[in-house]
Chain A
Amino acid sequence: MITSLEMSRRGFLKASGLAAGGLVLAFQLPLIVRQARGASPSGGTLNAFLTLDPEGRVTFFSPFIEGGQGVYTALPQIIADELDVAFETISVEQAPAGEAYKIMFGGTQRFTGGSMSVRSSYTAMRQAGAAARQMLLQAAADRWEVPIGELDTQPGRVVHAASERSIGYGELAEAAGALEPPTDPPLKDPSRFRYIGKPIQRNDSTAKANGSAQFAIDVRLPNMAYAAVKQSPVLGGDVASMDEAAIADRPGVISVERLPGAVAVIADTYWHAQSALDALPVEFENAAAAGLNSEQLAEEMQGRVDEAGMTAESHGDVEAAFLDAERVIEAVYQMPFLAHATMEPMNATADVTAERCEAWVPNQGVDVVVQQIAEITGLSADNITVHTPYIGGFYGRRFITDYGQQAVRLSKAAGRPVQLIWSREQDTQHDYFRPMVTLKHRAAIDAEGKVSGWHVTVVGDGPFKRLMPQFMQDGIDSSALEGVTEQPYTIANRRVDWVSHDYPVKIGFWRSVGHSYNGYVTESFIDEMAEATATDPLEFRRQLLGEAPRYLNVLDSVAEMAGYQPSVQEENGRRSAYGIALHLSFGSIVGEVAKVSIEEGRPRVHKVWCAVDCGSMVNPDTIEAQIQSGISTGLSQTLLEEITIENGEVVQKNFDTYRFLPPSLMPDVEVQIIESGAEMGGIGEVGTPPVAPAVASAVYKLTGQRIRRLPMARHDLTASA
């Protein structure tokens, strides 16, 4: 045990680059993660999340990145409670790559995504704090030669009431660090939480309000050059030829480099690099997407909705339900490609030498980045350091770090540090898009007018199949189907089938992934079923939620909060309507009501009410912020967003044509958090899926138009309003 602890400590110091920095680390508090790893009795992995210096300052090494979701605040809240220190004494650093920080899925994974950071590490963080506190208590007991049971802590101090002595944590740091970490430290009684569950203020607002917050794009190194890149406009092409001489004399140009599928110009400033690149004559060839049109692709996919496909989920006897049906309703929905449009464009900075590589790569999973750099450079992982500063938005895009690989290749070629920035045009065209998907829903209505069967066919691939095939289950891509499978509604006979459809356009994870379209389509079709049975959407859902009390509670809560009305309202000559939707994603059940009117042929969303049952929570203020954020994304895809492709080239290139929600369209938002005591759910993505169906439900009431293709900007609702 001691040996492995020592090794882990040395490995950690080296990996984090602290040893050379002269910082005195009094000790590190290791943690034994007791998450079950199968049935293995030998248990867990040693981890190092916390350091304490002699002044009592705590540094927390976060395994998760901060990209706005508030994890750099939430995790220290948990630590502060269990370690018993003031929240303000904890500073946060991004943990380096390495096995020690793989704390998800039984110690096998580390990534930031799937709305998993807080819920996947909640117990581990509590244990980390509690183990450290226990070691400090033991160190004080040893020093004072009193039984540990007589000691208690106050924030940052161990106290011995009987002798009226107390001592700061910092003074105990070294002695505590020499102790064996406890395997089963006692956790605090939740009734005594000082930080968990409270609206603690973020620790990054000041830096983000005065320009000092550092993003990867802000890295400045001695002798650093800047690079701009151009990838094949027709997707998936190679460089055929270019005329480097044509730009050789332009100011600041250092070199022109070829990369896989791209050319890059390296110069003394980004502007010199980008403007020279814009002037570089370059031809591409062999484009995988040559001739591809997204409209045609949609038609192809629509042509496959009646294929048998692979069955992902089946209950009862769907065939029999449809044979016995009195009536059948069906609808085909079409969902577009979407871009992430993170405000900080893709960028990375790399400094590659013969011996080592240091890189700043915005990412959602640092270990993969290290591995890729090792492959490109031939360096061993020990000699590669990847930093992940604050990230200017990720939403799933930064799982794929193609830009990081490019920066490393460029630095290697140039023999100096290089910062690569994708222009917004590159960022938009060469995204890993939210997949285009076609869905067909059918419902069987029996002689009593009840829904007796429900059959769904999803045509289109999800990101697992393309990017992480290890997550395919029995040949099924759950990332394409999540949100239509596992429905709470009591419909005895139902089935979900999947028809894989490949196309030469890169796809990836987009905020709420499969839920981003399945939430919309499933809940809209529930409305279609309600209409077929002449029931109000709210009442129809209530009738089908008899076996799902948690869902019913969320639904009723949001309806009550919004003052939901089934019929169109008339106020001061303005017609408005309420639409409602309910959706489980990432472990949280979310109900939303949207109040909508039609202005100039477009839906105008005035307010969205949201009830979220996330089981339990760490920071209600962050939850409110994330729900507001998720709703803005959901409304954005409802109203505006769409990537189209013509002749293999992405049509939208910048924010003038790839429009996302501007402030003028942001509705008022009211959030109610329900702590049902169920297992903790996610927050970062869960506000997004119910927005579109809630808005569409209201639009249907107002216009009689059932919108089955997003965004709504495609539809003129004037005539029907």
Chain B
Amino acid sequence: MMVTLTVNGTQHSLDTEPDTPLLWVLRDQLNLTGTKYGCGIAQCGACTVHVGGQAMRSCVTPLSAVQNQEVITIEGLSDDGLSHPLQVAWREIDVPQCGYCQSGQIMAAAALLASNPNPTEEDIASSVNNLCRCGTYLRINKAILQAAEARGQHKNQTQGEAS
């Protein structure tokens, strides 16, 4: 069966079994390896991507569920791979250690910020619950708060200019 989906702005039509998890389509067929396999059972969040703007664990998302949908992976989060406020904060705070979980962490955090630009620590705790075996949790929290603040400031500036 042909499944059509858009990934990071590019449309793909794939002749793949519709029950194939999106994770493996991204990694093995589209060579988008920034999205990681950690557990395959929705426990760790290493595979988090956005589908229609929502954070989804791609290891348990069948291809059929994203038919005609917009998928964003870590590779598509910002145009240059540098400028999303979370990427800036991640770099400034040096969040990553081994780095393997970090694509998923950032994608989970980005979905949160998109729906809640000013999250409290409790908001972060309830929506970014991805596992990190290196224990970078404290810096992840710090970076999300910093990114939210930076974005807020940026917004205020642009609004100020517009008015």
| Complex CA distance for A423 and B23, rounded to whole angstroms | 14
Asked whether B133 is an interface residue with its Cβ less than 8 Å from the other chain, the reply is yes
Separation in Å of the A393 CB from the closest CB of chain B? 5
Interface contact B129-A663, CB-CB below 8 Å: yes
Interface contact B140-A209, CB-CB below 8 Å: no
- What residues of chain B lie closer than 8 Å to A394, measured between beta carbons? 98
Interface contact A271-B90, CB-CB below 8 Å: no
Interface contact B43-A68, CB-CB below 8 Å: no
Interface contact B28-A226, CB-CB below 8 Å: yes
Closest chain A residue to B75, Cβ basis: A211
Interface contact A632-B137, CB-CB below 8 Å: yes
Closest chain A residue to B125, Cβ basis: A664
Separation in Å of the A711 CB from the closest CB of chain B? 16
Asked whether A616 is an interface residue with its Cβ less than 8 Å from the other chain, the reply is no
- What residues of chain A lie closer than 8 Å to B29, measured between beta carbons? 269
Asked whether B94 is an interface residue with its Cβ less than 8 Å from the other chain, the reply is yes
| Complex CA distance for A217 and B102, rounded to whole angstroms | 15
Residue from B34, B87, B96, B138 in contact with A668 in the complex, judged by beta carbons closer than 8 Å: B138
Asked whether B5 is an interface residue with its Cβ less than 8 Å from the other chain, the reply is no
- What residues of chain B lie closer than 8 Å to A390, measured between beta carbons? 98-99
Asked whether A625 is an interface residue with its Cβ less than 8 Å from the other chain, the reply is yes
Separation in Å of the B136 CB from the closest CB of chain A? 7
Interface contact B128-A215, CB-CB below 8 Å: no
- What residues of chain A lie closer than 8 Å to B141, measured between beta carbons? 663
Separation in Å of the B21 CB from the closest CB of chain A? 7
Asked whether B27 is an interface residue with its Cβ less than 8 Å from the other chain, the reply is yes
Encoded as 1 (CB less than 8 Å from any A CB) or 0, chain B from 78 to 106 comes to 10011000110011101111111111001
Asked whether B132 is an interface residue with its Cβ less than 8 Å from the other chain, the reply is yes
Asked whether A609 is an interface residue with its Cβ less than 8 Å from the other chain, the reply is no
Asked whether A666 is an interface residue with its Cβ less than 8 Å from the other chain, the reply is yes
Separation in Å of the B104 CB from the closest CB of chain A? 9
Encoded as 1 (CB less than 8 Å from any B CB) or 0, chain A from 75 to 112 comes to 00000000000000000000000000000000000000
Asked whether A589 is an interface residue with its Cβ less than 8 Å from the other chain, the reply is no
Residue from B34, B41, B74, B106 in contact with A656 in the complex, judged by beta carbons closer than 8 Å: B41
Separation in Å of the B30 CB from the closest CB of chain A? 11
| Complex CA distance for A160 and B54, rounded to whole angstroms | 61
Asked whether B50 is an interface residue with its Cβ less than 8 Å from the other chain, the reply is no
Interface contact B132-A654, CB-CB below 8 Å: no
Interface contact A204-B96, CB-CB below 8 Å: yes
Separation in Å of the B83 CB from the closest CB of chain A? 10
| Complex CA distance for A712 and B92, rounded to whole angstroms | 36
- What residues of chain A lie closer than 8 Å to B31, measured between beta carbons? 220
Contacts A205-B95, A390-B98, A669-B138; A341 near B132 (Cβ below 8 A):
no
Range class of the B interface residue count: 35 or more
| Complex CA distance for A344 and B96, rounded to whole angstroms | 14
Asked whether A218 is an interface residue with its Cβ less than 8 Å from the other chain, the reply is yes
Interface contact B82-A342, CB-CB below 8 Å: no
| Complex CA distance for A669 and B138, rounded to whole angstroms | 8
- What residues of chain A lie closer than 8 Å to B74, measured between beta carbons? 210-211
Asked whether A343 is an interface residue with its Cβ less than 8 Å from the other chain, the reply is yes
Interface contact B139-A625, CB-CB below 8 Å: yes
- What residues of chain B lie closer than 8 Å to A632, measured between beta carbons? 132, 134-135, 137
- What residues of chain B lie closer than 8 Å to A660, measured between beta carbons? 131, 133
Asked whether A345 is an interface residue with its Cβ less than 8 Å from the other chain, the reply is yes
Interface contact A202-B41, CB-CB below 8 Å: no
Asked whether B68 is an interface residue with its Cβ less than 8 Å from the other chain, the reply is no
A residues 199-226 near B (Cβ < 8 Å) are 201-202, 204-215, 217-218, 220, 226
Asked whether A30 is an interface residue with its Cβ less than 8 Å from the other chain, the reply is no
A-B pair number, CB within 8 angstroms: 175
Encoded as 1 (CB less than 8 Å from any B CB) or 0, chain A from 375 to 397 comes to 00000000000000011111100
Asked whether B64 is an interface residue with its Cβ less than 8 Å from the other chain, the reply is no
Residue from B24, B96, B125 in contact with A663 in the complex, judged by beta carbons closer than 8 Å: B125
Asked whether A629 is an interface residue with its Cβ less than 8 Å from the other chain, the reply is yes
Contacts A202-B94, A209-B96; A343 near B101 (Cβ below 8 A):
yes
Interface contact A625-B40, CB-CB below 8 Å: no
Asked whether B20 is an interface residue with its Cβ less than 8 Å from the other chain, the reply is yes
| Complex CA distance for A135 and B101, rounded to whole angstroms | 43
Encoded as 1 (CB less than 8 Å from any B CB) or 0, chain A from 654 to 682 comes to 11100011111010110000000000000
Interface contact B82-A343, CB-CB below 8 Å: no
Residue from B24, B35, B43 in contact with A655 in the complex, judged by beta carbons closer than 8 Å: B43
- Interface hub of A211, A423, A621, A668 (most chain B Cβ within 10 A): A211
Asked whether A270 is an interface residue with its Cβ less than 8 Å from the other chain, the reply is yes
Interface contact A271-B95, CB-CB below 8 Å: no
- What residues of chain B lie closer than 8 Å to A663, measured between beta carbons? 125, 128-132, 137, 140-141
| Complex CA distance for A214 and B31, rounded to whole angstroms | 12
Separation in Å of the A350 CB from the closest CB of chain B? 17
Separation in Å of the A419 CB from the closest CB of chain B? 9
Separation in Å of the B107 CB from the closest CB of chain A? 9
A residues 632-646 near B (Cβ < 8 Å) are 632-633, 636
Return the 6 tightest CB-CB contacts between A and B, nearest first.
Answer: A211-B34, A632-B135, A392-B100, A68-B97, A208-B99, A68-B98
A interface residues, Cβ below 8 angstroms from B: 67-70, 201-202, 204-215, 217-218, 220, 226, 251, 269-271, 341-345, 390-395, 421, 423-424, 621, 625-626, 628-633, 636, 654-656, 660-664, 666, 668-669
Given A201-B91, A206-B91, 5 further pairs, Cβ under 8 A: A209-B91, A214-B33, A391-B98, A392-B99, A630-B135
17 contacts between A and B (CB under 8 A): A206-B87, A208-B90, A209-B91, A209-B102, A210-B78, A211-B81, A269-B20, A270-B27, A392-B98, A424-B40, A628-B139, A632-B137, A654-B43, A661-B135, A662-B129, A663-B125, A663-B129
